[in-house]
Amino acid sequence: MKIITRYVLSEMLQVFLVALTALTLFMLVIGLTKEAQQQGLGLLQIIALVPYVLPDAMRFAVPGTMLFAVASVFGRFSSSNEITALKAAGITPMATIYPIALLAVAISLSCVWLNDIAVSWGREGVRGVVVRSLEEIIYSRLQQQRSYSTDKLAINVKGVQGRRLIRPTMSFQPNDSSPPVTLSAMEAELKTDAKSGTITAICTNGIVRVGDVEVAFPDTIERVIPLESIGKNNPSSKSPSQIAMGDFAEAKEDALKQIHQAEQQIAGRLAEAFLTGHAELSSPQHSAGEQATIDHLQNRLNRIAMEPWRRWANGFSCLAFVLVGAPMAIRMRNADFLTSFFLCFLPILLIYYPIFMAGVSQAKAGDLPPIAVWGGNALIAAWGCLLLRGVIRR
């Protein structure tokens, strides 16, 4: 049995590692190209992104590679009658599947870790590289296209001379309900601060517009603009999909605290209305802002509760794919690894991913408990067990 286990694991790891290397490089190139196009990065910045984009590339590559390796190896085993020979010797096909299932468990645990690293450390690292290179990125984009924009900031210039921006117009939308700020000047210079995530515009001879108010300045002024696209470093400001597993408890506690504060504000307004006799203050419209905050935070709590389950379900898709891929490849008896792979992947594409995405969507909305994201894994695993049963009895 040890010889069979070593043989199966050796064949599996050879195919898996070669395919994983190729697919990871492919996904890595796609990820780097996407970031380079979106951010206008240069060669040095792209090289600096590699370690941060690599976990993201691998977390997408590992499950598919696992299915490909299983379909390829067991399809070849079955087509060359190696499974039949084992049965003739009185050895169950489970002797070949069992070590691969254990390997899939180990790889699934690694994939859970990759999912966590990719969305927390990896994305923060990408953001850090972009922030450190932001000044050069902005100047490069302005030199090439005469404009640069993010969700909160837009810069248009007539020209660029060295570090001087000629006739710049900058528009900034604050994160709160404050009116937008537009700054026009004869010339300006930009300086970024990677630590604070801000950009300072040093402008000369221009006009500042804040809403409907317009003020001219003949001298030099400095305007510090926080770059909201960069984000903050505390867990409460991040999307739940970017929070590390270890920070979910803190993020949940912070959201609950903010909900409690909003509810206290509503209760205080109602108490004031009753005590002062101003009944109009008790109408729902006077608490619309706080209620909107509560709804937003409740949605955030749903996502915080769902996200760890999603990462575990994503990681253990490797095991589910093995449970389906191995018996299907054995039953098909096809030595063509591409045919075996696509025939195994088609039902996963049509069944697993739609159920998984539906579970994620419903859990985010709070309509289903977070465990619903495991629906696709459970269905695929159950189907795989039925296929295994048929293979063993044949």
Q: What is residue 109's predicted lDDT score, i.e. its pLDDT?
A: 95
- 287 in any annotated domain: no
Say how far apart CA 105 and CA 110 lie, in whole Å.
9
pLDDT level of residue 357 (50, 70, 90 thresholds): very high
Residue 390 in any domain: the answer is no
169 in any annotated domain: yes
User: Is 31 within the bounds of a domain?
Assistant: no
76-112 pLDDT, tens per residue? Answer: 888 888 888 888 888 888 888 989 999 999 999 999 9
User: Residue 61: enclosing H or E segment and its boundaries?
Assistant: helix 43-79
Does the pLDDT value for residue 233 go beyond 50?
A: no
Residue 173 domain-assigned (yes or no)? yes
Contacts of residue 179, Cβ cutoff 8 Å, sequence gap at least 6: 210, 211, 212
CB 112 within 8 A of CB 316: yes
Whole-angstrom Cα Rg for the chain: 28
Can you give the pLDDT at residue 330?
87
In a domain, 211, yes or no: yes
pLDDT at 163: 86
**Residue range 255-273, pLDDT digits in tens:** 899 888 888 887 777 777 7
- CA separation, residue 391 to residues 45, 71, 94, 355 (Å): 52, 15, 9, 26
Question: Can you name the residues that pair with 166 across neighbouring β-strands?
Answer: 159, 187
Spatial separation of the C-alpha atoms in residues 207 and 246, rounded to whole Å: 47
pLDDT over 50 (residue 229): no
Domain range for residue 171? 151-226
Best-predicted range by mean pLDDT (39-43, 99-103, 177-181):
99-103
Exposure string for 208-247, b = 16+ CB within 10 A, e = fewer: beeeeeeeeeeeebebebbbbebbeeebbebebebbbbeb
Residue 160: inside a domain, yes or no? yes
Q: Domain tally for the chain? A: 1
Provide, rounded to the nearest whole percent, the portion of the chain with pLDDT above 90. 27
Report yes or no on 214 lying in a domain. Answer: yes
End-to-end alpha-carbon separation of the chain, Å?
A: 21
> Which of 4-8, 67-71, 190-194, 348-352 is the least confident region?
190-194
What average pLDDT does the chain have?
84
DSSP string, 301-350: HHHHHHHHHHHHHHHTHHHHHHHHHHHHHHHHT---HHHHHHHHHHHIII
Q: Return the pLDDT at 338.
A: 75
